[in-house]
Chains A and B, each alone.
Chain A
């Protein structure tokens, strides 16, 4: 008899397309063989490179034909090898895992999305959902910041975001180049470039931890209550199923209790350095 480590055994994922995004970042469009649950916005997969290793990657798009997209930044040997794949190659896919964005609770609400850098990737499925079922949701305010214009993710889709009815889309960069004529500064300054009312609004935030800290502070100042703010956290989620221990943040296993948390739930730990 075998052990039965089903939870840790990946399914075969055929890479069908590789899209160059920004420096060190590519999007892989993958068809997963066999049974694979349709991911909810904000969930992630464990992606395995044969013989090299595994890493948790958020799901950045789900297509009607069941294919999924992963937008991956090369940050180490595993992710470097991951973005170096060619169409036709196989990656291991386990998932989808974790609690995603609170889609049920967004109906009839105004939605404020604040994304930093590659943090836009796990939020893209939310934008897609709003686009698809526009009448279900209130106003969409999409605020996006990146290091410099070269690092703006999904630039080719920006006009599409702008054309979503009843939507405001603002972009900023920390360091402009000569060609940039847009807003300059960290993403939180965008909160003051437009009219944002906490009334009937839910804020979804994803980006580097430092960016999320500043954003939460600003949101509180604008009158957002803690239960109106949702954050997607990044941790070393090695197993994805709450067994390996690595992703703990205080008493929470980010892989199964998150990665998306209501701010009030993690508030006590969020501000503790190196928790």
Chain B
């Protein structure tokens, strides 16, 4: 037996490097070991998360230009791509799931569980952070599909050297360098045609030992640290997070919520693309044989009926639903799960059809509170 535990204290934290061929080797190794490999894939001019059959499907050579309400894919040698609309919840917490069906004479049928062992490849640090948040949300008694899918997943995370315009992981402390939860992290330095690897778990170490790598020499490591620092500076919101959660709570009765949500359409796009939004509804799908399927579907707090009760709508105004969303992410979440609910991935900014910039909203609301 290999003394894996002894090795791990030596390698964790250590950077190893090799050329880009080693990354391809890692990809092939995962497929060889029977993993379904899921990663960024080009589809209809958008980078989605899908199963990848070959390393060549990774959208290298492309980048995306993202800004509030805007997403364009462009060719690029220098800048890498960032997250698209899909997050890992597409796989770990599917948008639609039949949880059971009940026949006319009340026999309950539960569907079979199907989730192959999966390697998420080339996902971003913000998405890794979102999984750690989801772990807390679901807890021990949480969604059974999530918990089992999670057990059968490993994470190969690509650090971001070129965060995009809507990214603010630097502010949220979730990136651009992955900190925990990953099995292997890597950083692609295109200009030098090299990849820096780091191991984050026993599984990761097992995989890394099959590659041909070397410890990164001091000059490479120092360059890496400089690039990471510069990347972090690019991924900032106009505020520091420190006292923002506490200050936001004092905004509950402020009129400013009506102003900052003026453009909101209530479409719930932000809920759907958010990697941590977990709300669901269960709906009935009646079948011809008289049975009924109970289907769990994603739901979002921006939808009109979200807080409707018998004879009343507790959040009938859009500004109130918008306020709830922001307060939940940046304040309530802390009470509920001991962490904030935002990872700074910027998806809600890019995919908002009205181009509402969450960073600006938080900044404006906090500024309003501080006036008092």
What residues make up the interface of A, taking CB atoms closer than 8 Å to B? 1-5, 7-9, 12, 50-54, 73, 75-76, 79, 90, 92, 208-209, 234-236, 238-239, 241, 243-246, 248, 250-251, 253, 269, 272-275
**Contact, CB under 8 Å: B286 / A51:** yes
Q: How far is the CB of A209 from chain B (nearest CB, A)?
A: 8
Contacts A1-B112, A3-B113, A272-B253: A50 and B102 contacting too (C-beta < 8 A)?
A: yes
Say which residue of A7, A51, A73, A76 sits within 8 Å of B284 (CB atoms).
A51
Task: Please state if A5 and B100 are interface contacts (CB–CB under 8 Å).
Answer: yes
> With A3-B111, A3-B145, A9-B100 given, is the CB distance from A236 to B280 under 8 Å?
no
Cβ distance B36 to chain A, nearest Cβ, rounded Å: 18
Q: Other than the known A4-B110, A275-B324, what 14 A-B pairs have Cβ atoms closer than 8 Å? A: A3-B97, A3-B113, A5-B99, A50-B104, A50-B106, A92-B102, A239-B280, A244-B282, A244-B299, A245-B280, A246-B306, A248-B332, A275-B252, A275-B320
Whether B335 pairs with A251 at a CB distance below 8 angstroms is: yes
**B294 pairs with A8, CB closer than 8 A:** yes
B96 contacts A by Cβ under 8 Å:
no
Contacts of B138 in A (CB 8 A): 243
Q: Which residues of B contact A209 (CB under 8 A)?
A: 312
Is there an interface contact between A5 and B110, defined as CB atoms closer than 8 Å? yes
Q: Which 3 A-B pairs have the closest CB atoms?
A: A75-B310, A274-B320, A245-B279
For A92, give the chain B residue with the smallest CB separation.
B102
CA distance A235 to B306 in the complex (A): 10
Binding site for A on B (CB under 8 A): 97, 99-100, 102, 104, 106, 108, 110-113, 138, 141-145, 148, 252-253, 278-284, 286, 292, 294, 296, 299, 301, 306-312, 314-317, 320, 324, 327-328, 331-332, 334-336
Complex: chain B residue closest to A56, CB-CB: B309
Q: Is the CB of B282 within 8 A of A8?
A: yes
Closest chain A CB from B257 CB (angstroms): 10
Interface pair B110/A2, CB less than 8 Å apart? yes
Does B144 lie within 8 Å of A5, measured CB to CB? Answer: yes
CA distance A205 to B294 in the complex (A): 35
Q: Closest CB of chain B to A2's CB: distance in Å? A: 4
Q: Across the interface, do B108 and A251 meet the contact criterion of CB distance under 8 Å?
A: no
What residues of A have a CB within 8 angstroms of the CB of B99 in the complex?
A: 3, 5, 8-9
Q: Which B residues are CB-close (under 8 A) to A12?
A: 106
Q: Which of B144, B278, B331 contacts A245 (CB 8 A)?
A: B278
Q: Which of A7, A235, A244, A250 contacts B279 (CB 8 A)?
A: A244
Q: Determine the residue in chain A with the shortest Cβ distance to B271.
A: A245
Residue pairs across A and B with Cβ atoms less than 8 A apart, 12 shown, are A3-B148, A4-B110, A5-B145, A51-B292, A75-B310, A79-B310, A236-B307, A243-B280, A248-B328, A251-B336, A274-B314, A275-B324
